[in-house]
Amino acid sequence: MARAVLSHDARFALGARKAARGLFSNLRCSPDAVAAALLCACALAACSTLQVAPNPAPGPACVPGNLASLPPERLTEARALAQRLERGALHTALTQRYGPASACSVEATGSGVRVTESFRDGVRLELAGQPAIEFSETRMVVRDVADTDAVALLKLAEQDTFGRDGCGIGWDRPEVQAGAGPGSRRELVFRGAVCQCQGRLDRGTDQIVVLILRAAC
Q: Are residues 32 and 101 located together in one domain of the fold? A: no
Q: Is residue 2 part of a domain?
A: no
- Is 79 exposed, middle or buried, given 0-12, 13-18 or 19+ CB atoms closer than 10 A? middle
Q: Residue 58: inside a domain, yes or no?
A: no
Asked whether residue 122 falls in the same domain as residue 29, the answer is no
Q: Is the pLDDT of residue 158 over 90?
A: yes
Same domain, 29 and 75: no
On whether the CB atoms of residues 117 and 104 are closer than 8 A, the answer is yes
Mean pLDDT of the chain: 73
pLDDT for 12 beyond 50 = no
Stated as kind and residue range, the H or E segment containing 215 is strand 208-216
Say if residue 85 is in the same domain as residue 186. yes
Residue 52's pLDDT is what? 32
The reply to whether 126 and 165 lie within a common domain is: yes
Whether residue 27 is found in the same domain as residue 79:
no
Over range 126-144, report the average pLDDT: 87
Same domain, 195 and 153: yes
Q: What pTM did the predictor assign?
A: 0.66
Work out the angle at residue 141's Cα, subtended by the Cα atoms of residues 183 and 89, and round it to the nearest 5 degrees: 150
From residue 112, alpha-carbon distances to 55, 72, 128 in Å are 39, 13, 7
The number of C-alpha atoms within 13 Å of 14 and in the hemisphere containing its C-beta is 7
pLDDT confidence of residue 2:
38
**52 domain-assigned:** no
The total number of structural domains that make up the chain: 2
Helix (H, G, I), strand (E, B) or coil at 156: helix
- Helix residue ranges per DSSP H, the chain: 8-26, 31-47, 72-87, 89-98, 147-162
In angstroms, the Cα distances linking 2 to 5, 8, 15 are 9, 19, 22
Q: Name the residue range of residue 23's domain.
A: 8-47
Is 31 found in the same domain as 111?
no
Per the domain annotation, does 28 fall within a domain?
yes
Alpha-carbon distance of 27 to 37, in angstroms, equals: 9
d(CA 109, CA 33): 79
The predicted pLDDT at position 206 comes to 62
Structural domain contains residue 25: yes
Whether residues 40 and 141 fall in one domain: no
pLDDT reading at 46 higher than 50:
no
84 and 160 share a domain? Answer: yes
Q: Is residue 55 one of the residues assigned to a domain?
A: no
127, 197: one domain:
yes
Residues above pLDDT 90, as percent of the chain: 32
In a domain, 43, yes or no: yes
* Residue 57 forms part of a structural domain: no
